[in-house]
Amino acid sequence: MLSDKLSDLSVRVGDVEARAEAFRSESQAGRTRKLDELKAVAEAHRASLLVSDPAGEDDIEAAWAKFGRSILGRIDSVQLLVEPRKDAKDPKDAALRAERLERNAGMAVDHALAAAVDAELAVAEAVDARLRAVDLAEDET
Residue 125 amino acid letter: E
Q: Which pLDDT belongs to residue 52?
A: 63
Q: What is the residue-level pLDDT of the chain in tens, covering all 141 positions?
A: 888 888 888 888 888 888 999 999 999 899 999 999 998 998 898 888 877 665 666 888 888 888 888 998 898 888 888 876 667 788 998 898 899 999 999 999 999 989 989 999 999 999 999 999 999 999 887
Say yes or no: 44 and 2 in one domain. yes
**Secondary structure class of 137 (helix, strand, coil):** helix
**Among residues 37, 46, 40, which one has the least CA distance to residue 75?**
46
Say yes or no: 75 and 99 in one domain. no
Number of compact structural domains in the chain = 3
Q: Which pLDDT belongs to residue 128?
A: 94
0.85 cut: is pTM over it? no
Q: Distance between CA 81 and CA 75 in Å, rounded?
A: 10
State which residues form the domain around 1: 1-49
Q: Which pLDDT belongs to residue 63?
A: 86
